[in-house]
A and B are shown apart, each in its own frame.
Chain A
């Protein structure tokens, strides 16, 4: 079998032209593409809020003034009332030495 000729590149001989990237050129390019069905197919971000990880539910009836205070504190902090209950539970666990393993 004959020896293959070595292939080496002289980068100085490569031709490159200046590329236009202004908004007008991009708009012209997009329009040319659309004529042939080359349209925007980028995945779109989902609309709306993300689902909350708080899927557990407690069934608590409390005194009216406690309910009002929890609601006011949640509004002040910009959180759900459930977050206030979680914080309260964390403090309770600390005070009573309750751990996740219990």
Chain B
């Protein structure tokens, strides 16, 4: 289940990464458009990575 959830989250992130800048922000000349969107999306992925790996433990 964790694998499937990861796959779905990844696909959604990648689709958003391409679709939103083209469909929503393409002609907005502001830092608060594509620039901010890509920064926030990447930040979300980094936070997700932190949560996803929190159970990575070494055998005692």
Bind each other: no
Interface residues of B (CB under 8 A from A): none
- A residues sitting closer than 8 Å to B (CB atoms) are none
